[in-house]
Chains A and B, each alone.
Chain A
Amino acid sequence: DVKVTQSSRYLVKRTGEKVFLECVQDMDHENMFWYRQDPGLGLRLIYFSYDVKMKEKGDIPEGYSVSREKKERFSLILESASTNQTSMYLCASSSGQGAFQPQHFGDGTRLSIL
């Protein structure tokens, strides 16, 4: 089975801190995705990557950056955390063309910015 592992289930940080969320997948998938999930808004795509060192902006990239130095690892970075970035963050991976293949999700990181 595909395993997508997010480094933390719960995280509490302070406004202005630089925050790193890590995601690792074990199935050699080309595509990796970062979403945030908020009540009433569903899942919104922040960034995705279809290859090492490649990245594409999603629907809400402002205030975020990403890094993919190795195929199995995709990091989400909050450059200067703000309270409106309090949310559930979900990482996913897929093989081939993202929309034609199932996405495999981690269990999420619930991030609180105080």
Chain B
Amino acid sequence: SQQGEEDPQALSIQEGENATMNCSYKTSINNLQWYRQNSGRGLVHLILIRSNEREKHSGRLRVTLDTSKKSSSLLITASRAADTASYFCATGDPNFGNEKLTFGTGTRLTIIP
């Protein structure tokens, strides 16, 4: 079953602008992770935020988590052409003792030079 759902499905912005993607999930979680996937390649881990954290930064990335709304957002500031990729959120599935992650369907981000 799909745990995370990203919104929007696709996003196009001008280079230099900020990009915001959202993720909603259904059940309680211990942490939430964000991944990036360049076309034709595997996923690359970006950031992990624990359920007791509200915000986390890594370079130009900012992730927020609102467990009361069961949602997270990923903000990429000062976007670059190299940020063009699909972005996925993933959550630990309590039904499997937190051994596995469940991924959403992703947001496809296009940065227009």
Contact = CB atoms under 8 A, between A and B. Distances in A.
B48 A58 contact: no
A42 B101 contact: no
Contact of A41 (B45, B48, B105): B105
Nearest to B104: A42
Interface residues of B, number: 28
Interface stretch (A13-21, A69-77, A93-101): A93-101
A99 B99 contact: yes
A105 B1 contact: no
A81 interface: no
Interface in B82-113: 88, 90-93, 96, 98-106
Candidate in A40, A59, A99, A100 with the most chain B CB atoms within 10 angstroms: A99
A31 B100 CA distance: 9
Interface of B: 1-2, 30-31, 33, 35, 40-45, 48, 88, 90-93, 96, 98-106
Interface of A: 4, 31, 33, 35, 40-43, 45, 48, 50, 56, 58-59, 90, 92, 97-100, 102-108
